């Protein structure tokens, strides 16, 4: 199957091209910038490159010259909305195999792509590489992590890259639904321990009296109900990584037991006199402020420092607005596979609704909305008619209440400042007050922005 790299900074359009070409028998990878494209080309082989002429970090002609210098046998097709003869002639003179103007005809695209591949002297060799690559499917861990383009996502990816090869204990902090376990999985996958187990434990679901047994195991007859020997999570993760989600929910007694195991790297199953040495990396996560819990005496300070050699923020969806449609497209592709559907994408109306919704449930909520909508969609595109009602209720409340200071004054001010990214002048306009009034209100409510 020919493998094509599509380079386009318009995410929605890029995904549409990807789905169209995939439907027609091509294996497609995407990049939203020249830098991302270069990083993918450095580690992957492609039979054809389809690139936009105008990119945020490079000119199409410059990129074309770089591609032809490094991969002279790989055909490059330029896409542009600036369709004139001079541009087309110049592109082809510089080595482009062909040229497509936007908006383009689907049949024309298929013909141009097919001809470019057919005329490529490197096609046979590239096909073999593509088949070999495809015969090694991505693991579930690799496929679940989505690389975004927002500053928050870029920072997150950088932290993961730096910490993964080490054995540093990582504390992941973030709201519910932001994908903390996926981050932990990615760290494990990129570590030297990736051949061993990754054990995820939800500390919030473990009863206090059973925590020791769950963590360290037990021997038969050690307590009522212990009908057989049981291996605990720590022993199961030996050599690999253990991920403790919502660690702030552990009781004080369980925190003491956990700290001892982490300090000594030894565990003792309940009812046993035998100690078992364990070699594990620990990654923890919480949506609480553990520092405040330490101050209040609810969380041990020594355990906090033991698990927090490095903290990583798992950004909310509000902090990753540029990534919203990337995640939506990812969840759509995943839902198509799970539900055996073939939905192409989202209508412009739905994309607008998505962009204006607050997503309090973050990625988990987005995934659920996309999966539900995929199931209910009858056509090629997800329309507003299949979206859940809560997306409209929130937006309707905004329209009705607006940013009136007559009710919920403090909340309205906070919301206005968040929407304008702390621009006081713009926030004052939304609130329909003077800038001076806004400053007085900020002082009155002791808000620091």
The answer to whether residues 308 and 325 belong to one domain is no
Please say which residue of 69, 102, 136 terminates a domain: 136
Task: List pLDDT tens digits, range 92-119.
Answer: 767 788 777 776 677 778 888 888 887 7
Residue 156 sits in a domain whose CATH number is 3.40.50.300
- Tell me, yes or no, whether 279 lies in a domain: yes
The answer to whether residues 342 and 372 belong to one domain is yes
Residues belonging to the chain: 449
Residue 138 has pLDDT above 70, yes or no: no
How far apart, in whole angstroms, are the C-alpha atoms of residue 187 and residue 160? 6
Task: List pLDDT tens digits, range 212-267.
Answer: 988 999 888 888 777 788 888 999 999 999 999 999 999 999 999 999 999 999 99
Residue 356 sits in a domain whose CATH number is 1.10.8.60
The H or E element spanning position 7 is strand 3-7
| Better-scored residue on pLDDT, 109 or 300 | 300
How far apart, in whole angstroms, are the C-alpha atoms of residue 48 and residue 28? 10
The answer to whether residues 383 and 406 belong to one domain is no
The answer to whether residues 362 and 265 belong to one domain is no
DSSP 360: T
Radius of gyration of the chain (CA): 27
The answer to whether residues 150 and 236 belong to one domain is yes
Please say which residue of 136, 165, 200 terminates a domain: 136
- Tell me, yes or no, whether 152 lies in a domain: yes
DSSP 24: T
How far apart, in whole angstroms, are the C-alpha atoms of residue 373 and residue 378? 10
- Tell me, yes or no, whether 437 lies in a domain: yes
3: its two tokens: 């493998």
- Tell me, yes or no, whether 449 lies in a domain: no
The answer to whether residues 23 and 65 belong to one domain is yes
Residue 395 has pLDDT above 70, yes or no: no
Residue 198 has pLDDT above 90, yes or no: yes
Phi, psi of 243 (to 5 degrees): -115, 115
Q: Is it true that the peptide bond before 103 is cis, omega within 30 degrees of 0?
A: yes
The answer to whether residues 80 and 183 belong to one domain is no
pLDDT for 383: 94
Residue 103 sits in a domain whose CATH number is 3.40.50.2300
The answer to whether residues 259 and 180 belong to one domain is yes
CB 61 within 8 A of CB 96: no
The answer to whether residues 34 and 180 belong to one domain is no
Give alpha helix (H) positions in 377-444.
390-401, 409-419, 424-431, 435-444
The answer to whether residues 17 and 131 belong to one domain is yes
Please say which residue of 136, 164, 181 terminates a domain: 136
How far apart, in whole angstroms, are the C-alpha atoms of residue 356 and residue 365? 15
Mean pLDDT value across residues 350-360:
91
What is the total count of domains within the chain? 4
Q: Is the pTM of this model over 0.75?
A: no
pLDDT for 93: 67
100: its two tokens: 């497509």
Phi, psi of 268 (to 5 degrees): -130, 115
pLDDT for 16: 86
CB 275 within 8 A of CB 266: yes
The answer to whether residues 222 and 305 belong to one domain is yes
pLDDT for 126: 34
- Please enumerate in sequence order all residues whose Cβ is within 8 A of that of 22, keeping only pairs 6 or more positions apart, or say none: 28
The answer to whether residues 149 and 254 belong to one domain is yes
Q: Match 């210098």 to its residue by tokens.
A: 69
Mean pLDDT value across residues 311-340:
92
Residue 293 sits in which domain range? Answer: 143-313
Highest mean pLDDT among 19-33, 208-222, 302-316, 377-391: 302-316
């Amino acid at each position: 199957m020919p493998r094509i790299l599509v380079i386009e900074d318009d995410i929605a359009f890029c995904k549409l091209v990807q789905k169209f070409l995939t439907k027609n028998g091509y294996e497609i990878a995407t990049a939203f910038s020249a830098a991302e494209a270069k990083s993918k080309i450095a580690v992957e082989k492609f039979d054809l490159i389809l690139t936009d002429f105008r990119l945020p970090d490079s000119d199409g002609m410059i990129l074309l010259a770089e591609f032809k210098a490094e991969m002279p046998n790989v055909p490059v097709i330029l896409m542009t909305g600036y369709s004139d003869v001079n541009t087309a002639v110049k592109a082809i003179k510089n080595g482009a195999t062909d040229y497509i103007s936007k908006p383009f005809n689907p049949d024309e695209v298929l013909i141009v792509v097919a001809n470019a591949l057919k005329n490529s002297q490197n096609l046979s060799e590239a096909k073999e590489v593509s088949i070999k690559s495809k015969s090694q499917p991505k693991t579930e861990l690799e496929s679940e992590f989505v690389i975004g383009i927002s500053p928050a996502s870029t920072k997150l990816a950088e932290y993961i890259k730096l910490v993964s090869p080490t054995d540093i204990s990582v504390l992941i902090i973030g709201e519910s639904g932001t994908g903390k376990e996926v981050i932990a999985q990615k760290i494990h996958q990129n570590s030297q321990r990736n051949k061993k187990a990754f054990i995820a434990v939800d500390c919030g679901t473990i009863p206090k009296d059973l925590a020791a047994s769950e963590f360290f195991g037990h021997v038969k007859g050690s307590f009522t109900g212990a009908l057989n020997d049981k291996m605990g999570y720590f022993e199961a993760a030996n050599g690999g990584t253990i991920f403790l989600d919502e660690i702030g929910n552990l009781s004080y007694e369980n925190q003491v037991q956990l700290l001892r195991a982490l300090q000594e790297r030894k565990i003792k199953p309940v009812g046993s006199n035998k100690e078992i040495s364990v070699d594990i990396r620990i990654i923890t996560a919480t949506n609480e402020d553990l520092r405040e819990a330490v101050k209040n005496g609810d969380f041990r300070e020594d355990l906090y420092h033991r698990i927090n050699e490095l903290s990583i923020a798992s950004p909310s969806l509000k902090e990753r607005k540029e990534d919203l449609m990337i995640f939506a497209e990812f969840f759509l592709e995943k839902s198509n596979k799970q539900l055996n559907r073939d939905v192409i994408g989202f209508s412009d109306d739905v994309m607008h609704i998505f962009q204006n919704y607050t997503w309090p449930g973050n990625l988990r909520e987005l995934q659920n909305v996309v999966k539900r909508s995929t199931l209910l969609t009858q056509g090629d595109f997800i329309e507003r008619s299949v979206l859940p009602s809560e997306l409209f209720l929130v937006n309707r409340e905004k329209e009705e209440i607006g940013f009136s200071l007559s009710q919920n004054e403090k909340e309205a001010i906070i919301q206005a400042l968040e929407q304008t990214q702390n621009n006081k002048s713009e926030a004052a306009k939304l609130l329909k007050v003077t800038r001076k009034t806004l400053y007085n209100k900020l002082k009155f409510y002791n808000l620091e922005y």
